[in-house]
């Protein structure tokens, strides 16, 4: 008779704790965006600021528990690459700043992460509302993407920013004309934001529609 020996292999269940790692992007204008390793590889924070400084500094940090380093750190302004870093000091100062979308993209492990801070103006004073009422936009909506801007306020210079729904600045215009035109006919149809500032720091924000 053949003896059959059964060898039982006992497996013990070992609980493996997931690695914790987080990344954070902050600016000296306030606000921050952050993500944890394994989450959605992007995050966006919107900062309402009255007057951005001429230069804006950003700092990218990773948690001390991270096992590894960030690589291929790239800094963008309104979707345009302005600087790349390979050192372990992840910070950057935009010397020519202003309203817009500031993004830092980097590699960690096998993923690419993206952190964004959007700086946009807000109306906070009675003079802002009066200034805004003196900035006329027509036709709105526009069927051909052409808009006329009429400036009824008594200012020497207007700075005009046009942004899409993501906050990306598409165009910046400086004008001291009373009436001038904006052409969005080469852009996609949809909603846009028209931001006007004057030399007194007043801000007017208007939604315009190209349909």
What CATH number is attached to the domain comprising 78?
2.60.40.10
Strands of the sheet with 158-163, listed across from one edge: 169-175, 158-163, 190-198, 203-210
| DSSP letter for each residue of 19-66 | PP-EEEEEETTS-EEEEETTS-SEEEEEEE-SS--SSEEEEEEE-TT-
Say yes or no: 69 and 107 in one domain.
yes
Cα–Cα dist 156/178, whole Å: 10
Say yes or no: 98 and 171 in one domain.
no
Is residue 65 in a domain? yes
Give pLDDT < 50 ranges for the chain: 1-18
pTM: 0.49
Cβ proximity of 165 and 120 under 8 Å: no
Is residue 157 in a domain? yes
The token duo for 154 is 């008594």
Cα distances (Å, whole numbers) of residue 2 to 5, 7 = 10, 16
Say yes or no: 151 and 192 in one domain.
yes
Instruction: Report the domain count for the chain.
Output: 2
What CATH number is attached to the domain comprising 180?
2.60.40.3080
**What local confidence, expressed as pLDDT, does residue 6 receive?**
27
Say yes or no: 104 and 76 in one domain.
yes
Is residue 3 in a domain? no
Of 75, 101, 120, which residue sits at a domain end?
A: 120
Say yes or no: 114 and 133 in one domain.
no
Domain that holds residue 54: 22-120
**What local confidence, expressed as pLDDT, does residue 37 receive?**
65
Cβ proximity of 117 and 33 under 8 Å: yes
Say yes or no: 116 and 141 in one domain.
no
């Amino acid at each position: 008779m053949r003896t059959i020996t059964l060898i039982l292999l006992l497996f013990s269940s070992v609980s493996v704790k997931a690695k914790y790692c987080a990344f954070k992007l902050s600016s000296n204008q306030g606000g921050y965006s952050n993500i944890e390793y394994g989450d959605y590889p992007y995050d966006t924070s919107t900062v309402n600021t009255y007057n951005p400084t001429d230069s804006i500094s950003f700092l990218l940090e990773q948690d001390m528990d991270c096992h590894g380093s960030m690589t291929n750190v790239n800094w963008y302004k309104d979707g345009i690459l302005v600087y790349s870093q390979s050192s372990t000091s992840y910070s950057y100062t935009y010397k020519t700043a202003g309203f817009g979308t500031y993004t830092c993209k980097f590699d960690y492990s096998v993923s690419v992460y993206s952190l964004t801070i959007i700086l946009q103006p807000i109306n906070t004073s009675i003079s802002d509302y009066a200034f805004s009422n003196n900035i006329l936009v027509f036709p709105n909506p526009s069927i051909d993407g052409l808009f006329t801007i009429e400036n009824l306020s008594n200012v020497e210079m207007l700075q005009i920013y046009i942004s899409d729904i993501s906050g990306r600045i598409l165009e910046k215009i400086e004008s001291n004309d009373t009436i001038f035109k904006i052409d969005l006919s080469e852009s996609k149809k949809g909603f846009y934001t028209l931001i006007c500032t004057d030399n007194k720091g007043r801000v007017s924000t208007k939604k315009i529609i190209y349909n």
